[in-house]
Amino acid sequence: MTRHTIGLLLGTEDDWPSAFEEILRRLGPVDGPGGPHSFDCERITIEPFSLRDKPRYDLVIDRLAYWYYHPREWLKKVAMMDGVYLLNSPFTFQSMEKHAAYCAMMRLGLKVPETVLVPYKNPVDNSRYAYTAARYNQSFDLDAIAQKIGYPLFMKPYDGGAWRGVSRINNVAELHAAYDASGEMLMHLQKAIDFDVFARSLSIGAETMVMKFQPDQPMHQRYAVEHDFLGPDAGQEVVTIGRLVNAFFKWEFNSCETLVKGGDVYPIDYANACPDVALTSLHYYWPWAMKALVKWSVFALATSRKARLDLETDRYLAVADEPGLSYGEKLGEYRKLADAYFETERYQDFCATSLSRLDQLVLDWVTGPDFDRLLVRTVQSVYPEHEHDRFIAHLRGLLHLWVRDESARLSAA
């Protein structure tokens, strides 16, 4: 038996870690190359570490390092020195915030809306700033930049997340109000896309779920349960873009927001180091996400998948620069590179053979009392008391819907 230990690096969440631990426990040992493999799972604690310590983990799912720097540096140490496999390495996530991701995907020819980075509104807190700015900062005409992009537009931080500092701007007065309020945040101006559909995809390793997203709704209603809401071409394109972004940066657990208008797909936000996987927001899609996390972790460990720290972007750039390739042909080539990186076929074979019992096992779990207790506990920790009954009923309804659809799918198979 080859034993593997998975570490979870967590913040405030308890819903998905409980699910992950439970599914892994119910799954038990798995046949893989070289015989059976077993998986233990532990929540990582924060403590002093010697840079030469040997970690107890073979793989870590990180949900914390995007803001907590002690574990971030520990992750870098274990990735660099000990070959620990990470779902999301701070080496790329830390250096590739939204702005760098925009640049990369523009470079590959994707339809990122027109975007301009403007200098800080307020002086940066640095004793050298006044001299440097007086000498080298060009004065610029904010109105003219906005005019050129065209209204409406969005002003948002170059490294944003969770809608912090995002505003939709319709005219010059709003432009100045938003820029004045931006203070020491560094802001993009971006052309607004007047989209027909907002498609948000969540990718975990070689799997991608495309969901219809309704940004105007409250959190618990943002993901609509609607299948085939994109035509087959746009649907494929959204999957390809999500997988391309991830393969390009070697991100393995990430969400990608795309705006679809007519036949065009515009990616607008795809550097999410800690994507939303809350039961209360993903609801119907949550069992899929939990399975995908378990499957990808088990696959990576059982097949000794090696973490790669270098990005090898040349192969993608060569496609971008290939003369005579249409946008669609480039996407096709990117998809091949991305699927090769994620070993998509090998992963699917592995799931079909070594993890064939997982679907039924998760269906049984979601149907049973343990899952319901987790659902109730989660609602109680997220919502104020007077809303508990309402949200418990709401979530139970959506999960019942999933159970019905999944039962039908498994009996058809």
List of residues contacting ligand ADP (CB under 6 A): 113, 154, 156, 160-164, 166, 190-193, 215, 257, 259, 268-269
200 binds, among Mg ion, ligand ADP, none (CB under 5 to 8 A by kind): none
Nearer to Mg ion, 269 or 406 (CB): 269
215 binds, among Mg ion, ligand ADP, none (CB under 5 to 8 A by kind): ligand ADP
Q: Do 66 and 97 meet the contact criterion of CB atoms below 8 Å apart? A: no
Largest CA distance in the chain: 71
| Phi and psi, residue 17, nearest 5° | -60, -40
Cα separation, 370 vs 353, in Å, equals 27
Nearer to ligand ADP, 55 or 267 (CB): 267
Cα separation, 154 vs 263, in Å, equals 22
Nearer to ligand ADP, 193 or 293 (CB): 193
Place of tokens 């990608």: 256
Nearer to ligand ADP, 90 or 161 (CB): 161
CA angle 2, 88, 186 (to 5 degrees): 170
Q: How far is the CB of 153 from ligand ADP (least distance, A)?
A: 7
242 binds, among Mg ion, ligand ADP, none (CB under 5 to 8 A by kind): none
Taking CB atoms, the residue at the shortest distance from ligand ADP is 269
Nearer to ligand ADP, 133 or 186 (CB): 186
Q: How far is the CB of 412 from ligand ADP (least distance, A)?
A: 35
Q: How far is the CB of 383 from Mg ion (least distance, A)?
A: 23
156 binds, among ligand ADP, Mg ion, none (CB under 5 to 8 A by kind): ligand ADP
Q: How far is the CB of 115 from ligand ADP (least distance, A)?
A: 8
Residues within the interface to Mg ion (CB under 5 A)? 257, 269
Strand order in the sheet with 223-224: 223-224, 207-213, 197-204, 253-261, 264-269
Taking CB atoms, the residue at the shortest distance from Mg ion is 269
Nearer to Mg ion, 240 or 272 (CB): 272
CA distances from 338 to 211, 242, 246 (A): 20, 10, 8
Nearer to ligand ADP, 273 or 292 (CB): 273
Place of tokens 């931080």: 157
Can you read off the two tokens belonging to residue 27?
């799954």
Angle between helices 388-412 and 358-367 (to 10 degrees): 150
Q: How far is the CB of 269 from Mg ion (least distance, A)?
A: 4
Q: How far is the CB of 257 from Mg ion (least distance, A)?
A: 5
162 binds, among ligand ADP, Mg ion, none (CB under 5 to 8 A by kind): ligand ADP
Nearer to Mg ion, 205 or 267 (CB): 267
Q: Is 359 left (phi over 0), alpha (psi -120 to 50) or beta?
A: alpha
335 binds, among ligand ADP, Mg ion, none (CB under 5 to 8 A by kind): none
Nearer to ligand ADP, 163 or 327 (CB): 163
Q: How far is the CB of 281 from ligand ADP (least distance, A)?
A: 13
79 binds, among Mg ion, ligand ADP, none (CB under 5 to 8 A by kind): none
166 binds, among Mg ion, ligand ADP, none (CB under 5 to 8 A by kind): ligand ADP
Q: How far is the CB of 160 from ligand ADP (least distance, A)?
A: 4
Q: How far is the CB of 238 from ligand ADP (least distance, A)?
A: 15
| Phi and psi, residue 155, nearest 5° | -110, 125
